[in-house]
Structure 1
Amino acid sequence: MTPRTRPPARGQAGPGAPPDPKYCRSCGRRMEWRKKWERTWDTVLYCSDACRARKVRPIDADLEEWLLTRLRSLPRGQGIDPADAARALDEEGGTLLHEPARSAARRLVNRGLAEMVQRGAVVDPSTAKGPVALRSPR
């Protein structure tokens, strides 16, 4: 019988295994390791050229701050819709900030400052579709 080997620590991939996923700095979606990024994985920050060009703008930081302030003022367990931040900060009253608000919510979840829920269950922010809420982490 051979002795068991210890599994690699989180963040350290074993031989032949892809490293842990990263999250895009702009949109907050999970980036899966790709063979073409093998040599540059440590320097990859954005999931696409569009996210690299867009980066995080001042309005994105404002959306994050609005969401965090609102989360702190809510009773524990209650959530808010990221679209509320878009409506609150959009001077024209349109839907221009809905996707940036969702991106801001994903970035907060990735930093561990919030949870994204759908119908009461925590969901992966990278793959969630439809209406979601943001709540304080448990």
Structure 2
Amino acid sequence: MSLSVTQRIALKNLAQFQPIFSASDFQLYEVKSVVKGNRLITSAAPYYHPEFARFLDLLSRNRLFQAGGEGDSRLLDDETALSQATPEELGSVLAYLSRAEQYSPGSWVSAFHSGALDRILKRAAELSTPTGEPSHG
């Protein structure tokens, strides 16, 4: 697979989040509550970690990760296919998750807890290497 320098840089920038998000002490989100009068109100939407906010910003600024249409969720449930995904397929999955989050807060949380986000970032790291193959080091 032949990728442009721009594509490799974009994938490397995406992959930089994998060790951060996979750290054992990393908390992707928190649920915040506020007291209003004598009532405790808990937000339905998660408050994401600042590093995850940086990740979302990267996605929003890079055309590689913005698929047309609704994006494609099929790779989320297929570990083998995801491990062989092209940059365009990764972009489609990421676009799907971004759009799903707009309508169903917590879609990223589900991808994080299922391991799908980690697999996406690992594949991005593989694709960012000159050979596009898994690194063994």
Structure possessing the higher radius of gyration over alpha carbons: 1
For Structure 1 versus Structure 2, the TM-score category normalised by the shorter chain is: under 0.3
Q: Higher relative contact order by CA 8 Å / sep ≥ 6: 1 or 2?
A: 2
More helix by share: 2
* TM-score, normalised by the number of residues in structure 2: 0.28
* TM-score, normalised by the number of residues in structure 1: 0.28
